[in-house]
A and B are shown apart, each in its own frame.
Chain A
Amino acid sequence: MTENPANRYPLIIAAATMILCVIVVVAFAIGRYPVPLSDLFRILWSWIGGAPHGLDATLETVVLQIRGPRVIAAVLVGAALAAAGAAYQNLFRNPLVSPDILGVSAGAAVGAILGIFMSLGVVAIQSMAFAGGLAAVAMVYLVARAVRGHDPLLLLVLAGVVLGALLGACVALMKYLADPYNQLPAITYWLLGSLASTDTRNMWVAAPLLLAGLLPLWLLRWRINVLSLDDEEARALGVSVGRIRLVVIVAATLMTSAAVAVSGVIGWIGLVIPHFARLMTGPDFSRLLPVSVLLGAGFLVAVDTLARSIASIEVPLGVLTAFVGTPLFLWQLAAARKGWQ
């Protein structure tokens, strides 16, 4: 029998927060243009206080204009994907579910590729990705609602899988039709995920959406726990299952759509980070959510820093998350298994 994870929880939170802070500082410091720690803190201090730092203006641009938004974007996107994944795993009562299950990523991909197809600007492409993600999930939800008299959860998953496959076919068609010199590389690049095009402007739009999705998940944390029981049991315990489920889906979709719009498709985080967190904290969502958020943020900042610094070209994020995450996860799984016996 394992010890009660509640006793370890403050320690886990403290450790995860510290690791995130260290990763963020390191992410600011390293890259094509290294920034010494002392300079970094002087620039941040003058940014907060308004006093001049007396350093090279290039250094300030690198920290505040280039790396700042990108690191913040990585924190928010990583946190959002992990939080949405954790919520969905409880909602669908399955630790193998990712935020993509209702077709968010597929819908966002179709939206973004349509934008690239029409040669729109970055902001317009991101808006179309966001709208595409929302529209896909709304369609899945309405289809599942229209068919009555079956297990609603199963219908949601089925509708999501079917619509996701259809949207995948649309993506394939548009790639096939795209101009192979201008559009196809842009589409491929977007589908592999990247934070390279983040700037202050689009973060001001995405950040409130990401946080707005996180808030209901935290507020409803206890209800989301109960939602992982059978529908009938949860209702007998006093939970309005349909309503809470809708709120969770809307919140998770908002976050995932905003995240995918900023970063392109980054798989893996939403599936594995909550799983990783659950191995540490146990399944209680009020502990699982904060730890997932911290780990997801830390993980994506670390991977994004690697992506822009290990090679002379940027390595696609979606590729790197899988390469870094898989061994990490397998190791954790093996370690946990030992602990159970």
Chain B
Amino acid sequence: MKLEAQQLAYGYPGRRIGSDVSFTLNAGEVLCLLGPNGSGKTTLFKTLLGLLPIQCGKVMLNDCELQQLERDEIARLVSYVPQAHGAFFPYSVRDVVLMGRTAHTGLFAAPSARDHDVALDAIRRMGIAYLAEAIYTQISGGERQLVLIARALAQEARMVVMDEPTANLDFGNQVRVLERIRALAADGIGVLLSTHDPDHAFLCADRVAMLRNGNLLACGTPDTVMTSAQLQHLYGVEVLVTEVALGQGRRRVCLPMGMQA
């Protein structure tokens, strides 16, 4: 199972955001997309999910062209965690997660007992069982983010695309979500995520892709791609990538320069 972009050009109808993007995401792998605000990360994700029309090139899912697949077929292969948002009606958290089962539910059916079990299991795996009966519109933004990830888990797709899954989370929940992402990869799921924190790429990514003005600057392992020079080029600020000792091993971290008093 793999998700593949081939010379992809993407954008909104009448407005091209980026072009010539090629990469492959394999099952069991975490690919982290870095890029400044407005670099086209969300637009790229929506194109990969078939939510925006492909302008040029191809997106391949499991050796099938994306356009050849029905919506529910795509949903069984790739799930999507959008940025946390409000909702229009006061559904319970359990109902929101249950909506992740839609692609597995017949057109005229309501979710079965098994679907309810899968949804509850996803809620537990995200560690938010205490929220199950809470009203989605009344919980915090960070909690909503966790609910949306649970919903994607309930979808049981082999690929997950996450748009800034750590954006609204406190420090503890950020780490918990990154751990969860690693666990997903260990279960054989391919994860494509975007983040604004390059350290998160060091923490969880197998590979890193850098997007600037809609084009891929680089794509490779964190150690080769995420150098001080590359990050400086990407974000336009001075960055120092350095190593810190951590127990027996060492870990790379990013530090913004030019902030010294």
Contacts and interface: CB of A to CB of B under 8 A. Distances in A.
Interface size class of A (residues with CB under 8 A): 20 to 34
A58 interface: no
B99 interface: yes
Interface in A55-90: 90
Interface in A134-191: 148-149
A267 B110 CA distance: 31
B23 interface: no
B18 to A, nearest CB: 18
Interface string A209-226: 000000000011111011
Contact of B110 (A2, A222, A229): A222
B46 interface: yes
Given A94-B88, A238-B71, A282-B90, A230 B102 contact: no
B71 A222 contact: no
Nearest to B12: A149
* Prevailing SS type, chain A contact patch: loop
A284 interface: yes
Contacts of A149: 12-14
A282 B98 CA distance: 15
Contacts of A239: 71-72, 102
A149 B51 CA distance: 13
Interface in B85-114: 85, 87-92, 95, 99-100, 102-103, 105, 107-111
A197 interface: no
Given A232-B51, A238-B72, A238-B76, A222 B89 contact: no
A1 interface: yes
B91 A283 contact: yes
Given A1-B134, A240-B71, A284-B95, A235 B102 contact: no
Contacts of B90: 282-283
Contacts of A235: 50-51, 71
Of B70, B80, B99, chain A has the most CB atoms within 10 Å of the CB of B99
Contacts of B99: 225-226, 229, 237
B209 to A, nearest CB: 21
A32 interface: no
Given A95-B89, A238-B75, A240-B70, A233 B102 contact: no
Nearest to A95: B89
A94 B87 CA distance: 11
B86 to A, nearest CB: 10
B89 A236 contact: no
Interface of B: 12-14, 46, 49-51, 70-72, 74-76, 79-80, 82, 85, 87-92, 95, 99-100, 102-103, 105, 107-111, 133-135, 151, 155
7 closest A-B pairs by CB: A238-B103, A238-B75, A283-B89, A238-B72, A236-B80, A93-B88, A219-B108
10 contacts: A4-B133, A93-B88, A94-B88, A148-B13, A222-B109, A223-B102, A229-B99, A240-B71, A283-B90, A284-B91
